[in-house]
Amino acid sequence: MAEADDAQDTTPTIDGKSAAAVLMMLLAEEEAAAIVGHLDANEVKALGSAMLGVAGISEDNVDAALEMFANKCRGVNPLAADPTPRVRSVIEQALGPSRAGTLLADIAPVSSPKLAEMLDWMEVDVLAALLDNEHPQVGALIVSSLSADLAAQALGKLEEGRQTDLLLRAARLGRVSVEAITELEDIVSRYVGDAAPPPKVELGGSSGVAKIMNSLGKPKGERLIKAIRKADKPIADAIEEGMFVFEDLMDLDAKALGTVMRSVDSSSLVYALKGAPKELVDRIFASMSQRAAQSIQDEMAEKTMVKRAEVDEAQKAVIAIARQLADAGEIVLGSAGNDYV
């Protein structure tokens, strides 16, 4: 019995979101893109976040994800999907759009996947403008078609009188005709062009200035950092933080790297190395005793999945120690022509 329990404890566990992310990463880009095209905005955001989080996932968890997918496929009921689109298509072909619309209004609620998709991808500000500019009855239909959270966000940008009117009209809504939904789709489509603002290109920032500081060299960089700190201390701290990042440990010689590693808590190193390039990980292990390196490797193997935030925090802790050692004169960060401190 004990042996069975031990075997169960070693079985990889992975949640559905991570399993979906693993499957998407295994697909060709074209296949993955085709799947994403069927998701709504919230699903795309959740899946994209999960895909970023499965970097470095173990082979056992990949196998677990594939097994979960296979089990899910076995349990799929082909009749479980929403039947409304198929029923609508069949009845329209048999009776024509006009008669079908009347019949469908009696046997099923009017639904519009097209309308729902347009609304899901619209920015809150654009939705608020739609609710504010169009006839209140149109706005009531929009409010009723939105998710509760999105409706609350859009209404929150309107005057209280308008909010009250729209909510009252939405509460009084009953059965809506197919024609009304079609007209609503046309109205919403006029706003879709404003729903996705052009992507913004990030320029400058503390990381960009940090690279410039590194190129200026230590003496001039120190003078400029002091001047910047007088004007804006948080910005100066952010610049300094970007002047030496975890991957820059690769530039340290073996002795300096060993000095840093001896000063770092092993629990922090376990997380920090999870997000590090293999070449750097190998160099760090080479700077440690075989026993210490093996201990870290064993702990890393036990932590198959860690949060990106935990990795970032651990790497910052290691860099903070490296900076302290540099300030104390025990190591030198950067090369002779590219001083960091």
Q: What is the pLDDT of residues 115-161, one digit of tens each?
A: 777 777 788 888 888 898 888 888 888 888 888 888 888 898 999 88
The answer on 165 and 127 residing in a single domain is yes
pLDDT band at 114 (very low <50, low <70, confident <90, very high): low
Residue 18 lies inside a defined structural domain of this protein: yes
Number of domains in the chain: 4
| Contact call for residues 224 and 214 (beta carbons, < 8 A) | no
Residue 309 lies inside a defined structural domain of this protein: yes
Q: What is the domain range of residue 35? A: 13-74
The answer on 293 and 260 residing in a single domain is yes
Task: Tell me the whole-structure pTM to 2 decimals.
Answer: 0.39
The answer on 60 and 103 residing in a single domain is no
Which of 49, 74, 99 lies at the terminal end of a domain, its last residue?
Answer: 74
Residue 225 lies inside a defined structural domain of this protein: no
DSSP helix, strand, coil percent of the chain (3-state; round to 5): 75, 0, 25
Residue 207 lies inside a defined structural domain of this protein: no
The answer on 334 and 257 residing in a single domain is yes
Residue 215 lies inside a defined structural domain of this protein: no
Residue 137 lies inside a defined structural domain of this protein: yes
Query: Which contacts of 69-72 are long-range, i.e. CB under 8 A and separated by 24 or more positions?
Result: 69/19, 69/23
Residue 44 lies inside a defined structural domain of this protein: yes
Is a pLDDT exceeding 70 seen at residue 100? Answer: no
Mean pLDDT of 218-241: 82
Dist. CA 5–CA 244, nearest whole Å: 47
Mean pLDDT of 201-222: 70
Residue 227 lies inside a defined structural domain of this protein: no
Is a pLDDT exceeding 50 seen at residue 177? Answer: yes
pLDDT band at 204 (very low <50, low <70, confident <90, very high): low
| 183-194 pLDDT, tens digit each | 888 888 887 765
Q: Which two tokens stand for residue 109?
A: 């609620």
Non-local CB neighbours of 164 within 8 Å, separated by 6+ positions:
none
pLDDT band at 237 (very low <50, low <70, confident <90, very high): confident
| 6-36 pLDDT, tens digit each | 444 444 567 888 888 888 888 888 888 888 8
